[in-house]
């Protein structure tokens, strides 16, 4: 086929042709891991479509042919460019007819003004186009032995070498967004579905060995059978990046020089950002502005202003609007149920330099109380939030200025060995000198 590649272990194409997402799925195939049947329409087909305003000759026939090889009435149709552009283009689930239209719509989403602006901001050329993955649907809501989740091979907040993530039992992923179901810590899978859990651990292990790096996967299991839907290297930051690189060197997965190059001096600028050290986390969202703060819960702007007279306050809202500006000004921290790192609350929190956690999907804010992580928390209750990890905990929690002190000390000793400079200097400077020595 000219425009389409099946996703199988025999296919070896670069990310520029099949897109980053399909390239990851090809890696999974080569590692012998379970991926739902799928094929990918190349970026070249997308470029031809964008140039001529129609499918290139032969694509329709190839599409119909390839579709026949995928069992099931419905497929997912996902965008996947050669460079990551998260959330900028279309993805469609449960496409059961008019596959051509779905593919055309994903192609066209390359040129939305928002996607163009994203590329301008991130130095991505406009002429690359996106690949499109057509994949059999696997159902996390099929029966009681089905579910869906995300998993990191190591904790992305600290770098600690234990799997980390969330699982949703008996539901598809969109049930979280709609509030119909609650996610649970990934470890609960070990008790509920030991076979799936073992399969997942084995997969994470093999993927780590392949990338020589921490990894992230999205998975679904249907009637007890595990399927991997997406994979990428972990992209850890700050203290987690330091710990990961040092641990990988200790495990013999990478050498010390590679470990040094894995950590950017930029990571070190954030390695001492205060972090919450809570034993029990009430809920997790997305960190939108780094820092830790402890304060009493206020569920309205008025109560935030009132409670702030007596001490620090964390404003907890479904989302924020201009009416919350007073409350945001009075609070020392912000939590919202909706929105991502580019929401009104996130932009305002960063403008004010206040720790913020956004997008806690299972948070419901009532007047005078909130429901979060299966608990009801009354207004005035003391909570602590971490705007780096997106964690929320009850009570006043201790903070640490780095979760990777011993790892950092060792990594910097290696850096000084490489640069030959053992004088007392700034941490980022020591690493920069090692990078310079390694790159000459």
Point out which residues bind another protein (CB under 8 A).
113-114, 117-118, 120-122, 235, 237-238, 241, 264-267, 269-270, 301, 305, 308, 318-319, 321-327, 329-330, 341-344, 346-348, 350-351
Q: Write out the DSSP string of 151-209.
A: EESS-TTT--SS-EEEEEETS-THHHHTTSS--EETTHHHHH-HHHHHHHHHHHHHHHH
Radius of gyration of the chain (CA): 24
Q: How far is the CB of 300 from another protein (least distance, A)?
A: 12
Whole-number Å distance between alpha carbons of 298 and 317: 8
Residue number with CB closer to another protein (54 or 306): 306
Q: What is the smallest separation between the CB atom of 23 and another protein, expressed in angstroms?
A: 18
379-408 as b/e, with b when 16 or more CB fall inside 10 Å? beebbbbbbbbbbbbbeebebeebbbeebb
DSSP code of residue 56: P
322 three-class SS? helix
The C-alpha atoms of residue 149 and residue 107 are separated, in whole angstroms, by: 27
Could you tell me the smallest distance in angstroms from the CB atom of residue 264 to another protein? 4
In the bound complex, what is the minimum distance in angstroms from residue 341's beta carbon to another protein?
6
Q: What angle do CA 2, 8, 10 make, to 5 degrees?
A: 80
Q: Based on CB atoms, which residue is closest to another protein, 18 or 263?
A: 263
- Residue 321 or 396: which CB sits closer to another protein? 321
Q: Which of 270, 304, 283, 273 is nearest to 385 (CA)?
A: 283
Residue 78: CB minimum distance to another protein, A: 19
Q: Which is nearer to another protein, 96 or 120 (CB)?
A: 120
Nearer to another protein among residue 232 and residue 256 (C-beta): 232
Shortest reach from residue 319's CB to another protein, in Å: 7
Q: Which is nearer to another protein, 9 or 342 (CB)?
A: 342
CA 150 to chain centre: 9
């Amino acid at each position: 086929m000219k425009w389409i590649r099946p996703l199988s272990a025999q296919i070896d194409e670069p990310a520029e042709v099949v897109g980053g997402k399909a390239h990851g799925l090809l890696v999974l195939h080569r590692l012998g891991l379970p991926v739902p049947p799928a094929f990918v329409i190349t970026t070249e087909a997308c470029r031809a479509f964008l140039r001529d305003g129609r499918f290139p000759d032969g694509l329709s026939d190839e599409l119909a042919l390839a579709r026949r090889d995928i069992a099931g009435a419905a497929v997912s149709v996902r965008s996947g460019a050669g460079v990551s552009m998260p959330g900028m283009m279309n993805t469609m689930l449960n496409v059961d007819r008019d596959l051509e239209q779905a593919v055309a719509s994903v192609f066209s989403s390359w040129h939305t003004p928002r996607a163009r602006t994203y590329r301008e901001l991130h130095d991505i050329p406009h002429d690359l186009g996106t690949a499109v993955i057509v994949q059999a649907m696997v159902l996390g809501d099929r029966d009681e032995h089905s579910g869906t989740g995300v998993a990191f091979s190591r904790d992305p907040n600290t770098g600690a070498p234990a799997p980390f993530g969330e699982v949703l039992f008996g539901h598809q992923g969109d049930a979280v967004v709609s509030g119909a179901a609650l996610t649970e810590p990934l470890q609960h899978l070990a008790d509920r579905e030991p076979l799936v859990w073992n399969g997942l651990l084995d997969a994470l292990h093999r993927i780590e060995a392949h990338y020589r790096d921490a990894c992230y996967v999205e998975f679904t299991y249907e009637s007890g059978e595990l399927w991997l839907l997406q994979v990428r290297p972990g992209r850890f930051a700050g203290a987690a990046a330091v710990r990961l690189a040092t641990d990988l060197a200790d495990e013999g997965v990478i050498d010390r020089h590679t470990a040094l190059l894995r950590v950017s001096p930029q990571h070190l600028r954030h390695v001492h950002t205060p972090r919450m050290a809570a034993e029990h986390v009430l809920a997790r969202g997305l960190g939108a502005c780094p820092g830790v703060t402890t304060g009493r819960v206020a569920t309205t702007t008025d109560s935030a202003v009132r409670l702030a007279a007596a001490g620090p306050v964390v404003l907890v809202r479904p989302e924020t609007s201009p009416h919350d500006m007073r409350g945001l000004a009075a609070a020392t921290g912000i939590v919202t149920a909706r929105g991502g790192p580019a929401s009104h609350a996130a932009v305002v929190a960063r403008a004010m330099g206040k720790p913020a956690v956004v997008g806690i999907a299972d948070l419901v804010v009532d007047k005078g109380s909130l429901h979060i992580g299966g608990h009801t928390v009354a207004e005035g209750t003391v909570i602590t939030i971490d705007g780096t990890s997106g964690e929320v905990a009850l009570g006043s929690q201790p903070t640490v200025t780095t979760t990777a002190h011993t790892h950092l000390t060792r990594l910097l000793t290696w850096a000084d060995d490489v640069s030959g400079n053992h004088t007392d200097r700034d941490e980022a400077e020591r690493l920069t000198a090692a990078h310079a020595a390694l790159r000459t």
